Structure 1
Amino acid sequence: MTDAIVVEGARKRYGEKKALDGLDLTVAGGTVHGVLGPNGAGKTTAVRIMATLLRHDEGTVRVAGHDVRTDAAAVRRRIGLLGQHAAVDEELGGRQNLEMFGRLHHLGARRAGVRADELLERFGLADTGRKAVKQYSGGMRRRLDLAASLITDPKVLFLDEPTTGLDPRGRAEVWSAVRSLVGGGTTVLLTTQYLEEADQLADRISVIDAGRVVADGTADQLKAKLGGDRIDVVLHDAADLARVAPLLPGETTIDEDRRLISAPVSDRMAALTETVRALEAAGVEAEDVALRRPTLDEVFLHLTKEASA
């Protein structure tokens, strides 16, 4: 599979601040690649450089086979970008917006109209194409934004926090649209603050902190960094948390507000049985005992904490 994006040693400074500090990133073609990181980690800077909106100071950045510095025009012809804020005109209808974007990309009036109808149908907006965008729901508006970014049928699509501010239904609508894009062969680079979003959509995930990649892999590979399965115990009385900690295997984490204590385990069923017996022997009342996989949120917090240590 051809790599759609290759970033090697990219650096970008704003005065004394290092926005990117030797960023290395490879995105396989026809996949969704998630980029996670805390605020200020360099995610948006990286996207702006890859989309030719910002010049990097050092390193090499290639998108769709072209260098973003020396062949920026060729890169722009092959990419789409959906930023954090809506780019559509709320007073115009959905179809009018797409036609306008088509004309701005020099498609011509006839081709712009045909392309607008194709995209409205593809994103389930055909019945509302003549309605003013200000009457759209948040999810519909974001799908129209996504359609506008695809007006030229790009090889690579950058989604910079595409579902910020959407309710669960709106997010699900955008997720469905993204999956259909990748099914058609588009490569998607997704930056997001919603770790569930990366877990749901991304074939591979890179965690960025302080302008560089601190971890890379599938969601399952990243979760395995925390030791596989975990056991969670919710106690009736938070005062018992300290007593229970020595009863669990490995290093425990405690959430006093939720009366929750958690620990990594290697043998799922043996750990469950032994924990229940230990709680009974100690006379500790538990409201719930459960086995689970680590969440991507826990992985993210663990990795970024390590990187900043």
Structure 2
Amino acid sequence: MEAVKDAVGEMERVVKKDLTESEASCLLSVFSSEAVLISLGQYKDRDIQSLFLKIQRMVKTATKAKLFSSYTFDGLVPMAFGRGNNVLQYVLRGSDLYCAKIGDAATIEAEVQASRLIHENQLCPSVMPVIDSIRIDENRAAMITPFYPMPVSHATVTEPTIVNVALCGIATIKAFSNKNMCHGDIKPSNMMFQASSRTVISIDFGSCKEYGNMLTETSPLFGLDCGNQASLRYDLTCLAASIMLLSGIKLDMIATREDALSELASRSGVHITLANLCLDESVSNLDDMWEQIQTLVRVALPNADFVVDLNEIWPKRI
């Protein structure tokens, strides 16, 4: 048996990489006869290369089949979130309900990478996690996420709801800023309610860019006059505009941050104060801003059971 195991080392030498556990297992079981010949030195390097490619294809197909078999795709989600040509489907695994976002493979895989980067080494409850990703074929991929029942844009919102949207939005922006990243597309249709929690979840990371890079798509309705460079300012402005829209303010007459501040000047409420904070040019440290917000909520909304737990939603390093 030890001699056969030498086949793994010989294949690693030829392909110049360590075999994964699945690849090594496939070699020693499915291709055990070939493994014996490799260990005896009776396989040429080019034949070992060819066998390795066959093993890779087999492992990839088996992994995809196993992943697919664990989920049941069960019809289209009627209220689609995100944008573009993506298809959303209900997904069941056991008794649990999830959502599958299916679309262009490169776009889906970039979104998966962005979500995993944001969740890496930090807890950020207001940012959508990715549970699984599946490469369906050469052109399409699927991203499995929790199922959220309704986007903020489809709801009838009250002032308490807008306060929670604002608080969770700021927490999301903090989670992205910890990774020097801009979400790039914060708006009500990309913020989701949960069935059993007051935490509002930010989704759709297709526009996510590192600070300083150019955003490939922008929404002047929410980004106002921030331009198309990924920045903390851009995300905060988009959130401020979202708060205003949810508050009943028409954005089609507001072209700049100055216009937004002028409109907010005649209004009051905790949600309006939060919008003003997002538009404050002096804000550069979100931790300091969060301290102001905690004081504001304690004073203006004492014992308010509708407010999301501020300590729970703020990102924490792990």
Higher helix share: 2
Larger strand fraction of residues: 1
Answer 1 or 2: higher relative contact order, Cα 8 Å, separation at least 6: 1
Q: TM-score, normalised by structure 2?
A: 0.23
- In our comparison, the structure showing a higher alpha carbon Rg is 2
Provide TM-score, normalisation by structure 1.
0.23
